[in-house]
């Protein structure tokens, strides 16, 4: 009987936001595994006692990236960790978009502003400012060229907290076509979804946002699948990935491009795609040996 840890976060007195977690624990147990949900920062769990630790919903890691990466490195020496530590470390910083672009993958154009660097903001187009380490649209906002003072206040706050900012043109296609999330598991396409725009005009950067508005199933196009597979093939070292999510938007040329590549703790939305649960269980059990 394999022992499997589904790694999550400590939600404290609030209910966990991970709707998939109890479903996945139950499905793995029904399949004969000893599966438990464990917060990544739980005091002294026996990680070495698990055959596999699967990072699922460590959704507070971006607040504590260095601590989280240290845990990943430590856990990876004690048991098999999915995804592998080197992948997680690379994926914690969205400057990986530059690596994808260098490899010829179409990505949303991105500039980076580290603490101490000049705040060079666009003066001719709508744009987005967000941190290179973030999740759930935390510290993300959409601005017009006449809202620079507000954007500068955001940059100042982010830099004071040690974050590097990324600046991207706002992809207006999101307002009509949304974002498409292609989910992969065990090296194959699992399912896909489409969500609406997250960043409404005028929403403060520090306001809580709905991370996946109007989420619904989606059938990816051949072009979307091609870009997603090219992004996965460009991950350094060509590692074996248990899971991945590729978030795509439509670029100005009408073709899909990568918004984000989620290799750490992507929401699988199994509650929306219950037909995918058996494949996920099969792949996790195989990874556990």
pLDDT by residue (tens digit) across 68-93? 999 999 999 999 999 999 999 999 99
Mean pLDDT of 200-216: 80
Mean pLDDT of 189-204: 88
Question: Is the per-residue pLDDT at 136 higher than 70?
Answer: no
Q: pLDDT per residue over 13-41, tens digit each? A: 888 999 999 999 999 999 999 999 999 99
Residue position matching structure tokens 């946002």: 209
The pLDDT value recorded for residue 212 is 83
Q: What is the pTM of this model?
A: 0.94
Other beta carbons less than 10 A from residue 111's beta carbon: 13
Q: Where does the pLDDT of residue 221 fall: very low under 50, low under 70, confident under 90, or very high at 90 and above?
A: very high
Q: pLDDT per residue over 251-280, tens digit each? A: 999 999 999 999 999 999 999 999 999 999
- The strand order across the sheet containing 216-217 reads 216-217, 188-195, 179-185, 243-250, 256-262
d(CA 154, CA 29): 45
Mean pLDDT of 57-63: 92
Residue 26 CB partners (closer than 8 Å, separation 6+): none
Question: Is the per-residue pLDDT at 152 higher than 90?
Answer: yes
The pLDDT value recorded for residue 197 is 86
Question: Is the per-residue pLDDT at 214 higher than 70?
Answer: yes
Which parts of the chain are beta strand (E)? 3-8, 34-39, 52-55, 80-82, 111-113, 127-131, 141-143, 165-169, 179-185, 188-195, 216-217, 243-250, 256-262
Catalogue the active-site residues: 216, 245, 262
Question: Is the per-residue pLDDT at 210 higher than 80?
Answer: no
Question: Is the per-residue pLDDT at 151 higher than 80?
Answer: yes
The pLDDT value recorded for residue 135 is 67
Query: Mean of the per-residue pLDDT values for the chain?
Result: 94
The pLDDT value recorded for residue 285 is 98
Q: What percent of the chain has pLDDT over 90?
A: 82
The pLDDT value recorded for residue 75 is 97
Give backbone dihedrals phi and psi of 285, rounded to 5 degrees, phi first: -65, -40
Question: What DSSP character marks residue 157?
Answer: H
């Amino acid at each position: 009987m394999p022992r499997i840890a589904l790694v999550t976060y400590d939600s404290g007195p609030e209910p966990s936001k991970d709707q998939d977690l109890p479903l996945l624990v139950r499905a793995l147990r029904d399949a004969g595994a000893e599966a438990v949900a464990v917060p990544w920062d739980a005091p002294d769990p026996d990680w070495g006692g698990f055959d596999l630790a699967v990072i699922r919903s460590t959704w507070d890691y971006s607040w504590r990236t260095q601590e989280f990466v240290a845990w990943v490195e430590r856990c990876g020496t004690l048991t098999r960790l999915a995804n592998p530590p080197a992948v997680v470390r690379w994926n914690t910083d969205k400057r990986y978009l530059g690596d994808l672009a260098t490899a010829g993958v179409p990505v949303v154009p991105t500039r980076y502003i580290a603490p101490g660097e000049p705040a060079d903001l666009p003066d001719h187009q709508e744009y987005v400012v967000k941190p290179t380490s973030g999740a759930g649209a935390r510290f993300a906002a959409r601005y017009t060229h006449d809202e620079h003072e507000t954007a500068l206040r955001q940059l100042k706050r982010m830099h004071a907290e040690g974050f590097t900012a990324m600046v991207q043109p706002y992809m207006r296609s999101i307002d009509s076509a949304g974002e498409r999330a292609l989910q992969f598991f065990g090296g194959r396409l699992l399912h896909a979804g489409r969500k609406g725009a997250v960043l409404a005009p005028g929403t403060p950067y520090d306001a809580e946002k709905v991370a996946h508005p109007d989420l619904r199933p989606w059938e990816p196009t051949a072009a979307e699948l091609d870009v997603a597979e090219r992004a996965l093939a460009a991950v350094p070292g060509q590692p074996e990935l248990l899971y991945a999510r590729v978030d795509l938007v439509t670029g100005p040329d009408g073709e899909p491009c990568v918004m984000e590549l989620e290799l750490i703790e992507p929401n699988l939305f199994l509650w929306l795609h219950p037909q995918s649960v058996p494949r996920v269980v099969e792949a996790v059990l195989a990874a556990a040996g």
